[in-house]
Amino acid sequence: MAGTIVANTINTDTGVFSTNNAYTGIVKAWVDFTNSGTINASFNVSSVTVNGTGDYTINFASALSNANYITMATTQCDTGSLNNGTWFFGMRSTNGTPTTKTTTTARMLTSAVNGSLYSSPVNSVAFIGS
């Protein structure tokens, strides 16, 4: 049997939900973007702000239910660059100040293993939470 199901409202035993915040343990947002902040593809991400070299703020289109989410990130590296292409992309401290994540934004950094910030050509990150 093939067909299409269209629903304006879906009810569960705990009430009505209209966003993915009703589900736990799923991807709440994801984005693939360039070092200039250009979004190649995304879900629930409105924009990427470039704060400086290798320093990005991901802005969510719809707020997440809480800031207790995890990030999974990848970055494209250039083997001819710093540390022969060994890279880190994620949340970390900058000059001793921890990066922040809120229900509306997450700050992410790309760097070489020696800590030098680097603008990787392509970055991808997913946000998973409750």
Give 41-61 pLDDT, tens digit per residue: 999 999 999 999 888 999 999
Q: What are the residue boundaries of the structural domains of the chain, listed by start?
A: 29-129
Q: Extract the runs of DSSP E, i.e. beta strands, from the chain.
A: 10-12, 15-17, 26-34, 39-43, 45-52, 55-60, 70-75, 87-90, 105-112, 122-129
* In the predicted structure, residue 22 carries a pLDDT above the cut 70: no
**Quick check: 121 pLDDT over 90?**
no
